[in-house]
Amino acid sequence: MKARRKRNFNPEEYTAAQRSVFSKRTNLIFSMLFALLALAVFLPVLLVIIVSFTSESSVTQNGYSFFPQSFSLEAWKYLLHSGTYLVRAILNSFLITAAGTVLSLMLMCPIAYALSRKSFRYRRGILIFLMIPMIFSGGLVSTYMVYTQILHLRNTYLALILPLLCSTWYIMILRNYYQTAVPDSLIEAAMVDGGRQLQIFLRIVVPITTPVTMTVALFQIFAYWNSWYPALLYLDSNHTELYPLQYVLVNMQRSIDMLANDAQYISGAQAYIPPAVTVRMVLVVVVILPIILIFPLFQRYVKNGMTVGAVKG
């Protein structure tokens, strides 16, 4: 009896359908499921955009609808009436978001790289030091006293940037990714060739770890763009030129609510009451529109950055 000859496995002989774990019917079901989930996420955004162009009377009578009875630009005109004040707030938000994101990456990436190297002597002590703020917080009063009385950062851009500059959670994500994606043999080979740690980090580690860096950058962009509470704490009312967009929109919404509540006590001449509901939707559109435009630029990095960074090497 002749021995059966063992055939070597050739991946090129298998089609994509044969290599698939699921059948075509299962793939179709999953595709439909994810399409429904995507539609469920998109429909609320579409509804907000439609309501922002709807007349206030139509919203009051019929509620929110994808097919309103009448459209109106009154809410957008009220927002654009702010003119240079709103434009300055938008520029401030872009400046704070860009500067804060870049500075946070310049701070957190080197810290995470040092903590990922086993040869770093003090990495355990620094790691414990960084973990303490995740469990115990210094409190709002002490933080406010440090920024205003010690650092004297009141009514400055730094007061809006520093509170979100460093996050232990993001440092842990970066550290785990560095341990997984950057082998020790690569660092040792670069050191043998005469490379210093700063050169190795900038020329080797940073290009390799672009996915996790862009992922953290995206999260920092979200955090800075949506931040308005530091402006409430550290900016006075006579420094409106420093107001970010979020804080301006919050103040605008408060003013509209105040006018609507006080309208019943105003007698004599007819008081102008802004369209409260539709203006609120316009504010939401203004906030989410830059995020919607910038997210596709980072989307391809998010999956690799979070998946690999969450695995401990």
In sequence order, what are the beta bridge partners of 54? 71
pLDDT at 22: 66
- Tell me what percent of the residues of the chain surpass a pLDDT of 90: 17
Is residue 55 within 8 A of residue 71, CB to CB? The reply is yes
In sequence order, what are the beta bridge partners of 71? 54
Is residue 73 within 8 A of residue 53, CB to CB? The reply is yes
Taking residue 11's Cβ as centre, other Cβ atoms within 10 Å add up to 6
The CATH code of the domain at 83-309 is: 1.10.3720.10
Give the angle 120-121-122 at the CA atoms, nearest 5°.
100
**Rounded distance between C-alpha atoms, residue 276 and residue 279, angstroms:** 5
Here the tokens at position 90 are 């938008």
Confidence band of 93 (pLDDT split at 50, 70, 90): very high
Here the tokens at position 75 are 């809410």
Confidence band of 185 (pLDDT split at 50, 70, 90): confident
Would you kindly state where each structural domain of the chain is located, as residue ranges?
Answer: 13-73, 83-309
Taking residue 168's Cβ as centre, other Cβ atoms within 10 Å add up to 17
pTM equals 0.79
Q: Which residues contact 226 (CB under 8 A, 6 or more apart)?
A: 246, 287
Average pLDDT score, the chain: 81
If you average pLDDT over residues 169-183, what whole number do you get?
88
If you average pLDDT over residues 14-37, what whole number do you get?
74
**Rounded distance between C-alpha atoms, residue 56 and residue 62, angstroms:** 10
Q: Which residues contact 76 (CB under 8 A, 6 or more apart)?
A: 52, 53, 282
**Rounded distance between C-alpha atoms, residue 205 and residue 111, angstroms:** 13
Taking residue 249's Cβ as centre, other Cβ atoms within 10 Å add up to 24
